[in-house]
Structures are given as structure tokens and as C-alpha cells.
Structure 1
Amino acid sequence: MKPLPYWQHPDFRRGVRDMLATAPGQAAWGLVTGVAMVDSGLPVPLALLMSLTVYAGSAQLAVLPLLVSGAAPWVIWLTALCVNLRFVVFSASWRPFFRHYPLGQRALAGYMAGDIGFVLFMRHFASGQPAAADAPRDSLPYFWGSSWTGYLAWHIPSLIGIALAGSVPTTWNLGFAGTLALVALACSLVGSPATWLAAAAAGTVSVLAVSLPYKLNIVLAIAAAVAVGVTMEKRRGE
């Protein structure tokens, strides 16, 4: 039987549907990031390049103050690395599903990977849900369906934010609205006591250490979340 093209696969459509449920929050965050890049003093061409190549909203916002203040390159790179270390864990979890695909497909999947896409994917495949009745189970169609939907939900508003940055009144408080949208999304995706404790630890440390320079409170928050999560997993396995 000839395999279905990805876009015709039932799991591709399911991935699109699952990601669409989170699209409003992603769109709000993308718009905020686009506006923030230009309002921080980044030239529009550089903001466009950064948006289209980096594709990591948290890392973009973390390094923006460093870029504007003229921080040392190693500080900028280290900050972005620490913020994105979670993708190492994501990749290890995805490996059993994707290791038999060609390198090119895996490399593109790595670029398209996102936090919400990871959570949706693992819920869909690691939870033992049955395959679609009219097609064999295949992990990549679902991944592409959710990832491309998330990619567009992020980038289109981000580019709009870059284009309209100068005309968006500060009284709209888009930054606060985008943060609230992300908090709501994060809470809906946290589903176990271990992840709740890790999230609480990260939030607490981030607030307590907010006065540290170079956004080091983010680095400490990540370390706290990882430490709590690992400790909880070890205790559960004992």
C-alpha cells in the first residue's frame, strides 16, 4: 500500500486541530515579541532576520536587552543556550520516534520543534492513544501538522508586530496580555505533580532573582525547575 502524503494523513490533520486550540496564545506572544524587538531599538531588517531564523520567542526576548546594551557576545550566546537547554530533553524524548528518518528530515524537525508541539506530540503518542482507523500510526505526519500550524501561528503575528511596532500604543499593554496568554497555556499543559512543582520552583526563583543582571534569574529558574523535576522523578522511581 502506497503511503499517504503527509498533508493527507489523518494524523497530520489531527496535529493541525490540536495546535489550533493553542494558536490564540501563540499569536499573542508572537505579536508581543515582534513589537518588543523593534521597540527595543533593533533595526527592522535585523528584527525580521532574527524572527525568521531564530524561531524561539523566549530566547529572543531574553537576549534583546543584552543586544541593545552591547553585552559581550559570549553572554548573549550563553543566555540563549541556557534558555533553550530544554530542547536537549525534548530531542531525547523524540529520538525513539524519529531516529529511523533521514538526517535532513530530522534536522528540519529540530528547527521546527516547539514547546507546545512537544507536549501535544507526547500526549498523542506516548499516552497510548490508538492510531487513526483509516491509516497506520506514523509520528511524522502528526509532528508536521502541529509544527507547521504552530510555526504560522507564531510567525505571522510576529511579522505583523515588527511592521506595526511604531504604531502600537503602549497603553495597550500587549506585553502583559501576551504573558497572561502564555501563563494560561502553560497551566493547561502541566499535568503531573512533578511538573507543577518544577513550574512553581521556576516561577519562585525567577521572581526572587529578578534583580540579577543579564537575565540571570532565567538561568537560575531553569536550574531550579530541572533540579526539582529530576528529584521528583527519582523519588517516584524508588
Structure 2
Amino acid sequence: MFLSAEYRHRPEYREGIRDQTTVAMGIAAWGLMTGVAMVKSGLSVLEALLMTFIVYAGSAQLAAVPMIAAGAPMWVILAAAFCVNLRFVVFSAHLRPYMMHMPRFTRVISGFVTGDLSYVFFARRYPKPGTTPDELTGQQAYLMGNCAINFGAWMTASVIGILLANAIPTEWGLGFAGILALLGVLCSLATSPLRMVSAGVAGAAAVVAWALPLKLNILVAIACAVAMCLLLEKTPLAGRREDGHHA
């Protein structure tokens, strides 16, 4: 999908590659630690490789692996992974107007390769969907450029982590580098008072709801931030500030 000549020859594709490259090292560190964690939790090399290429969701993998090692029922493992990835429902709802012109299979593949940071960069670069076929194609090219780097960095590092798991100590805490990458992008997106408030609400809600099972604190954080934004956007002052105007 992201290697299609239709996208690779467009300048937006190269812009997507350039933007995602700034956080590629964090993504790679996160992927490396996930690969190590899967093998050290008891999965065979083959099982870890299959999980990496089929699931392609670091947070869901890290949530599921301890449960697999503990022999938890399949429905519990699936429920945990489902809850952790519920944020992608929000992402997909936002991306729908950008992709509805494409065939269903293409949309499915695009959704599979789109990660958190790819979505973040895309949403920042294109706050509104294009109005012409050429604009929509350019936007998709940018997203696929992002996804190419994200996918490559994650898969390469994760496979290395799986193959070299016994030589890499988990105490290195390499996953923290991925968290730092996410925080860096978050700070760059906080360009208005409304966005700052939403980030603060989400962070506070995630901490308060930390004890919830199945990482439901992530869903709580998203719901609280969305609810707060919808509430604040109804005020005239918030609307003017979001558009960059002063009262």
C-alpha cells in the first residue's frame, strides 16, 4: 500500500517520510523492547514473529503477552487487546472522510498500517479532508509516507528484539524512548488553549483511572478529553481562540 507508485512519486509522500523520521528512533526502541518482552514472556521465536506481523499493535501486544504467559482464557486476552486499541475507533471515525473515496480493501489496508504517530502527524498536517480527488490523493500519499517509516522502524526493531532477546536485558527500559517520542509529538500539537486543556484532561483522567483493568484508563482518558473539547467548543471564546483570533 505505502509502496504504491501512485503515492511514492508525489511530494506529499516525501513530506510524510520526513516528518515520521523525526520520531523513528523512538518507535524503533519501542519495537525492540516489545520484541524482547514477547520472547522473555515465553513465546517461541515463531510465535513472536507471527504476532508482530499479524497484530502490529505494540500496546495490545504488551497487554496480551503477560496474559498469554499466565494461561489466561482467550476471551480475556481478546478483551484486553480490544480495550487497549479502542482509541483506533476514534482515529478511524476522524479519518473516514479522508478515505471514503477509496475501495474498501484499500481502506482496510490503510487502517492496518496506520499507527498512533502516523495518525497524529496526519491530523496535524491536514485538519480537513481535501475537496478534490487530487487533494485527497495527496493527503493519502502523505499518510502512506508516514506509515512506511513507522512500519519499517517498528518491524525491523521488533524482529531484531525477537531474534536477540536473550542478549538484550529488559532492564534497559527501551520502551521509555517510545513514550518520549509520543510526548514530543504531543507537545508540538498543543498549539492552542483548547488543545492544551484536552491534553491535560486526558493525562489527568488516565492517571486517576490507572487502577482500572484491561487498561481501560486509556478509554476513560479519550472519553474525558473528547467530552471536554465538545463542551468548550460550544463557547464563542474557545472557538475564536482555536481559529487563532483574539477577542
- Specify whether residues 202 and 148 from structure 1 end up closer, same or farther in structure 2 by C-alpha distance, changes over 3 A only: farther
Q: Which region of structure 1 is more displaced relative to structure 2, 193-202 or 78-87?
A: 193-202
- Specify whether residues 74 and 128 from structure 1 end up closer, same or farther in structure 2 by C-alpha distance, changes over 3 A only: closer
Are positions 1:168 and 2:168 aligned together? yes
Task: Please tell me whether the aligned partners of residues 29 and 182 of structure 1 are also in contact (alpha carbons under 8 angstroms).
Answer: no
C-alpha separation in 2, matches of 1:188 and 1:51:
29
Give the C-alpha shift of residue 149 in structure 1: 1.1
Are positions 1:87 and 2:88 aligned together? yes
Q: How many residues are treated as equivalent by the alignment?
A: 224
Q: Which residue number corresponds to residue 193 of structure 1? A: 196
Counterpart AA for 1:199: A
Give the C-alpha shift of residue 109 in structure 1: 0.3
TM-align CA RMSD: 2.4
Q: Which residue number corresponds to residue 132 of structure 1? A: none
Give the C-alpha shift of residue 104 in structure 1: 1.6
1:5 partner SS: helix
Q: Deviations over 1:75-118 (max 9, x none)?
A: 11111111111111111111111101111211110111111011
Give the C-alpha shift of residue 61 in structure 1: 0.3
C-alpha separation in 1, matches of 2:205 and 2:92:
21
Counterpart AA for 1:193: M
Task: Please tell me whether the aligned partners of residues 55 and 61 of structure 2 are also in contact (alpha carbons under 8 angstroms).
Answer: yes
Task: Please tell me whether the aligned partners of residues 31 and 161 of structure 1 are also in contact (alpha carbons under 8 angstroms).
Answer: yes
Please list every run of 5 or more consecutive structure 2 residues that lacks an aligned counterpart in the other structure.
236-247
C-alpha separation in 2, matches of 1:170 and 1:110:
31
Q: Which residue number corresponds to residue 40 of structure 1? A: 41
The normalised TM-score by structure 2 is 0.82
Q: Deviations over 1:93-148 (max 9, x none)?
A: 1111110111121111011111101111111111699xxxxxx5322111111111
Q: Which residue number corresponds to residue 229 of structure 1? A: 226
Q: Which residue number corresponds to residue 50 of structure 1? A: 51
Task: Please tell me whether the aligned partners of residues 35 and 165 of structure 2 are also in contact (alpha carbons under 8 angstroms).
Answer: yes
C-alpha separation in 1, matches of 2:209 and 2:139:
35
Give the C-alpha shift of residue 74 in structure 1: 1.1
C-alpha separation in 2, matches of 1:151 and 1:164:
20
Please list every run of 5 or more consecutive structure 1 residues that lacks an aligned counterpart in the other structure.
130-135
Give the C-alpha shift of residue 199 in structure 1: 3.2
The normalised TM-score by structure 1 is 0.84
Task: Please tell me whether the aligned partners of residues 206 and 217 of structure 1 are also in contact (alpha carbons under 8 angstroms).
Answer: no
